[in-house]
Amino acid sequence: MSELMSNGGHVTVLLNEAVAGLKVQPAGVYVDGTFGRGGHSRLILSQLGVDGRLVVFDKDPQAIAVAQQLAQKDGRVLVVHEGFCALTRSLEQLGIRQINGALFDLGISSPQIDEAGRGFSFRFDAPLDMRMDTTRGQSAAQWLAVAEEQAIHEVIRNYGEERFSRQIARAIVEQREEMPITTTGQLARLVAQVVRTRERGQDPATRTFQAIRIFINGELEEITAVLPQAMNCLVAGGRLAVISFHSLEDRIVKRFMQQYSRPVPLPRWAVVKEADREQPPLRLIGKAQKPTSAEIEANPRARSAVLRVAERCC
């Protein structure tokens, strides 16, 4: 997620581009699947008419508190305290069967990173939590206390693309036999002792923290689950816009949009006129967009963002 705290406010990455990609209809029903602190939602609301509706999702209790304050002021806003993979079920509970657009700003938000107590960042020595929803589920510390070495290695390798994953996993298991790993500082120091080389300007613990966070929150599985739900909920002409922040997320989004924007392959022996072929459910809108150099200079955390947009076909 792309919100940057600055002078008490929030700057949202690719704000105008993402909302423009939705092609907001004044009387439409829209979903902000990752409310955060409401940057995208407020811009969508500014383009909605009095009959429009905006359903906002978030796991984070703090984000939900902000969303509920907005909903109290604006009756067009409906708030769901759930991960976005509950999209279809939650919309049905609200009596909504179809939507005109859905926006997903993936990953973690800057307020979550910058709050030491959440345990997302190695910049602070804090409890090793890493849950986006602190009211449910297993914390990172709890998982590291019981996970097998092979499981830790696979998580760090697969979700962090960390080449020293096996050595890190072994060090974690050895360390916890002497003392539980309960703080971000402990984990960061342990990883730094194992990872001897790293890309310039990157902390040795970066990939490990990313991997454990993605695993604890089931982030990639949620993306895989929500994309077909969103596509199936869209009306003809409705838009799906997704902002991703690292290659694992973007790969899922890119492959999904490409797969469903191409005609279904036919066997070689099939003789079918092009006009009679079943048309794909999606149409790609433009090319992938990235932040401008000016936006990256103002907000370095925006540098890896990629926006992809697709439209539901008739």
The letter for the amino acid at 101 is G
**Interatomic CA distance for residues 164 and 122, integer angstroms:** 18
The pairing of beta strand 3-6 with beta strand 77-80 = unpaired
In this predicted structure, the answer to whether residue 141 has a pLDDT above a threshold of 90 is yes
**Interatomic CA distance for residues 282 and 262, integer angstroms:** 8
- Report pLDDT for 202: 78
Count of alpha carbons within 13 angstroms of residue 49, beta-carbon side: 5
- Report pLDDT for 270: 62
pTM recorded for the entire structure: 0.89
For residues 33-54, give the mean pLDDT.
Answer: 96
In this predicted structure, the answer to whether residue 274 has a pLDDT above a threshold of 70 is no
The letter for the amino acid at 160 is G
**Interatomic CA distance for residues 55 and 313, integer angstroms:** 22
- pLDDT (tens digit per residue) in 254-269: 999 999 999 866 666 6
Residues 6+ apart with CB under 8 A from 248: 159, 161, 214, 220
**Interatomic CA distance for residues 275 and 254, integer angstroms:** 26
Percentage of the chain beyond pLDDT 90 is 73
Two structure tokens written together for 51: 């009959």
Give me the CATH code for the 115-217 domain, please.
Answer: 1.10.150.170
- Report pLDDT for 111: 57
The letter for the amino acid at 40 is H
Higher pLDDT, 236 or 202: 236
Q: Are the CB atoms for 71 and 79 separated by under 8 Å?
A: yes
Per CATH, the homologous superfamily of domain 3-110+220-312 is Vaccinia Virus protein VP39 (3.40.50.150)
Helix, strand, coil abundance in the chain, percent, nearest 5: 45, 15, 40
Residue set of the binding site for S-adenosyl-L-methionine: 38-40, 58, 84, 105, 112
Please list the residue range(s) of the chain that carry CATH number 3.40.50.150.
3-110+220-312
Residue set of the binding site: 38-40, 58, 84, 105, 112
Sign of the dihedral defined by the CA atoms of residues 239, 245, 251, 252, in that order:
negative
**Interatomic CA distance for residues 44 and 22, integer angstroms:** 9
What are the residues facing 307 on neighbouring strands? 243, 289
List the strands of the sheet with 99-105, edge to edge: 77-80, 53-57, 29-32, 99-105, 234-244, 306-312, 282-284
Q: What is the DSSP letter of 289?
A: B
In this predicted structure, the answer to whether residue 303 has a pLDDT above a threshold of 80 is yes
Higher pLDDT, 239 or 60: 239
Count of alpha carbons within 13 angstroms of residue 144, beta-carbon side: 32
Q: What radius of gyration do the chain's Cα atoms show?
A: 21
- pLDDT (tens digit per residue) in 160-169: 999 999 999 9
Lowest mean pLDDT among 76-85, 200-209, 243-252: 200-209
Please list the residue range(s) of the chain that carry CATH number 1.10.150.170.
115-217
